[in-house]
Amino acid sequence: MKKLVLALALAGALGVHAETLKTDVVVIGSGGAGLSSAVTTHDLGNQVIVLEKMGIIGGNTNRAEGGINAAETQQQKEAGIPDTVDQFFSDTMKGGHDINDARLVRVVTTKAKDSVAWLTSLGADLKTVGRAGGAKFNRAHRPSDGSAVGPEIMKTLWKAVKDRNIEVRRNSQAVEILKNKKGAVVGVKVKGKDGKVYTIESKAVVLATGGFGANNAMVTKYKPSLKGYATTNHAGATGDGITLALKAGASLVDMDQIQAHPTATPDGVLISESVRGDGAILVNSQGKRFTNELLTRDVVSNNELKQPGRFAWIVWDEPVTKTAKLIQEYIHMGLAVTGNTYEELAQKMNVPADALVATMKRYSELQAKGKDEDFGRADMPQALKTAPFYAVKVQPAVHHTMGGVHIDTKAEVIDTKGQPIPGLFAAGEVTGGVHGGNRLGGNAQADIVTFGRISGQSADAYIKGLTK
Ligand code: ADP
């Protein structure tokens, strides 16, 4: 009795919680990657605990707006879109400046169609197929009412988690990955809501902690030019997974590859790429176009930073608004200025009215011709001449951290000697290599769900191997 009291007193003094839990798999992070992993490995017969450090689930996945890219899907076939996995692969490599890990890209581009079918089987509405930047064909699958894809994916995965009674511990931050003497992962240390640290013993751990876009110190460490940038990320995107993985002996790749999204409001609210895809254009503070709006994010961001004041306006008309609920929400949120004429809009934007009117007239003419002689934009779905007109002030903000934990095609985490760390898997934005030097819109969701599922399958295969 004396001994127990002493042990508890000691544990209390050290801030250590006496509780030790046991499970087969611990999944760290409750975004799209984490929940895809948890549902998959649960369905293969494993007991799972999901840890989420924030009070809410979903991380950056909640904020994903555009779509989930996939080629050769049922939806594309029905719409007569002649896309192929090979085209998806080459668009992704080209978009990533060819520094992507081609083996990982092959996996995502081949299996994304299964991810879309899997989400659909779980109840997701991914019926509409739209265009995102850098894609040769329409392959961004999204809800049929034009609402954002991330909440649809989270809603679907959360229902699957609830239906299966998978345990999700919120306000629970993984603070250390535990290994045995042989170097195999055997659990995690967790800091609970009360600040006390306890242990969960497990046979495998999946890191699905997302990126580090909201940690400007970490961002600046790897890319000093982004010092002081706003971010579109949720507050929990602080790169814990990078710190945890490094301590567990993992190697990292492409850490300096950090993407700025060209259309964030000064407060960091993301205006989805799909608004441009659906027809909007960009003009500068002089009311003039300055770029092909559908170029990759890095190029459009750089072009924007060359404009006076380093910002732009994204401009669209009523028919564009009608294409998506998401766009209507931006208007309801009060992000846009509005005008019944371009003169009126120009006044509210504080740009020269004659210049804006001339820019919009010229664009309508080019759209009618079907050829953008000024900037080479391939797809001009709208003439932008039907009032009311809308504009939102935008600038580049840190959006996606392409680099991260080094994984192989089985989502095994690779150590500094090039060997898998037994029992440690990773998926989603915490990993590096899939997106290379630039992530295409719609590819994050393809990556997180596909590698989320693979990490769940690999954790299962690893556990089954342990008992052989
Ligand atoms: P992905 O798109 O890769 O799934 P998300 O950003 O959507 O990434 O989700 C990652 C989740 O992981 C976020 O909800 C984040 O709060 C959570 N997270 C990050 N670090 C930790 C940690 N140390 N412990 C538990 N959860 C974490």
Residues 120-128: contacts with CB under 8 Å, at least 24 apart: 122/39, 122/156, 122/157, 122/159, 122/160, 123/156, 123/159, 124/152, 124/153, 124/155, 124/156, 125/152, 126/67, 126/68, 126/75, 126/152, 127/75, 128/75
Ligand 1: atom nearest CA of 172 is 25
**Cβ(270)–Cβ(392) below 8 Å:** no
**Cα torsion angle, 258, 264, 268, 269, sign:** negative
**Cβ(360)–Cβ(342) below 8 Å:** yes
- pLDDT tens column, 274-283: 899 999 999 9
Q: Is the pLDDT assigned to residue 423 strictly greater than 60?
A: yes
**Cβ(251)–Cβ(218) below 8 Å:** no
- From 39, 53, 65, 158, the mutation candidate for ligand 1 (largest count of ligand atoms within 8 A of CB) is 53
Between 84-88, 218-222, 259-263, the lowest mean confidence (pLDDT) is in 259-263
Mean pLDDT for the stretch of residues 293-318: 92
Q: Is 297 a catalytic residue?
A: yes
CA of 141 to the centre of ligand 1 (A): 23
> Which run of H or E residues covers position 319?
helix 318-323
pTM: 0.85
Instruction: Name the residue at shortest CA distance from atom 9 of ligand 1.
Output: 31
Ligand 1: atom nearest CA of 56 is 14
Q: What are phi and psi of 4, to 5 degrees?
A: -65, -45
- pLDDT tens column, 126-161: 999 998 889 999 999 999 998 999 999 999 999 999
Question: Binning pLDDT at 50, 70 and 90, where does residue 267 land?
Answer: confident
**Cβ(300)–Cβ(249) below 8 Å:** no
- From 52, 108, 152, 270, the mutation candidate for ligand 1 (largest count of ligand atoms within 8 A of CB) is 52
Omega before residue 352 within 30° of 0, cis: no
Between 3-7, 155-159, 460-464, the lowest mean confidence (pLDDT) is in 3-7
Q: Is the pLDDT assigned to residue 6 strictly greater than 90?
A: no
Taking CA atoms, 25 is separated from 41, 46, 167, 195, 200, in Å, by: 8, 7, 11, 23, 10
Q: In whole angstroms, what is the distance from residue 450 CA to residue 18 CA? A: 37
Share of the chain above pLDDT 90, in %: 87
**Cβ(414)–Cβ(251) below 8 Å:** yes
CA of 258 to the centre of ligand 1 (A): 18
**Cβ(73)–Cβ(31) below 8 Å:** no
CA of 147 to the centre of ligand 1 (A): 23
Ligand 1 pocket by Cβ (under 6 Å):
28-34, 51-54, 58-61, 173-174, 208-210, 236-237, 240-241, 428-430, 448
Instruction: Name the residue at shortest CA distance from atom 16 of ligand 1.
Output: 236
Q: Spell 244-258 as b/e; 16+ CB within 10 A means b.
A: bbeebbbbbbbbebb
- From 37, 209, 445, the mutation candidate for ligand 1 (largest count of ligand atoms within 8 A of CB) is 209
Q: In whole angstroms, what is the distance from residue 347 CA to residue 114 CA? A: 49
pLDDT of residue 325: 86
Q: Which residues pair with 17 in a beta bridge?
A: none
pLDDT of residue 131: 86
Nearest Cα neighbor of 213 from 247, 236, 241, 245 is: 236
**Cβ(426)–Cβ(413) below 8 Å:** yes
Mean pLDDT for the stretch of residues 422-428: 98
Instruction: Name the residue at shortest CA distance from atom 13 of ligand 1.
Output: 59
Amino acid at 169: R
**Cα torsion angle, 34, 39, 44, 47, sign:** positive
In order, the DSSP letters of 247-296 are HTTB-EE-TT-EEEEEEE-TT--B--HHHHHTT-EEE-TTS-B-S-TTS-
Say whether 60 sits in a helix, a strand or coil. helix
pLDDT of residue 18: 53
Q: Is the pLDDT assigned to residue 107 strictly greater than 90?
A: yes
CA of 21 to the centre of ligand 1 (A): 21
pLDDT of residue 468: 63
> Which run of H or E residues covers position 406?
strand 404-406
Q: Which of 297, 377, 439, 453 is catalytic?
A: 297
How much is the mean pLDDT over the chain? 94
